[in-house]
Amino acid sequence: MKNDHIEHHNVIIVGGGPGGLGVAATLEGWHPIFKGDYKFPSREVQRLAKQYENNPLALDMHELLDRDQRPIEFFRMRHHPTQQALSPDKWTLKFTKRARTDWLMLTTDSPGGLWNNVPREQMTLGPAHWMELAHYPIGKFYQETGRVRDLNDLAHRDDLIDYYKAFTRKLKLENHIRTGTKITKISPALEKSKKTFIVHSIEQSTGKTKKYSCNHLVFAVGPRSVIRKLDVKGIQHKYVSSAYTHPNDYPGERVVVIGGGRSADWAAQELHDSGRSVVYVMRQEPSSHLKLISASQYLPYYQRWAEILSSEQERMGLLYSSKVTSFERGGLVKINTPEGSIVVQADHAIVEIGGDPDYGLLSSFGDLTFHKKRDNFRFQLNQMVVDQATFESVDIPHLYAAGYIAQGTGLSVIGFHAGCFLIAGDILFKSAEAQ
Residue 89 is predicted with a pLDDT of 85
Per-residue pLDDT at 379: 67
pTM over 0.85: yes
Nearest Cα to Cα of residue 11 among 190, 195, 169 = 195
Residue 355, φ and ψ in degrees, nearest 5: -155, -170
pLDDT along the chain (435 residues), means of 10: 80 97 98 92 95 97 97 95 88 96 97 93 93 97 97 96 98 98 95 83 96 97 90 96 95 95 93 96 93 88 92 90 97 97 97 93 97 73 96 98 94 92 98 85
pLDDT at 217: 98
- Side-chain half-sphere CA neighbours of 137 within 13 A: 18
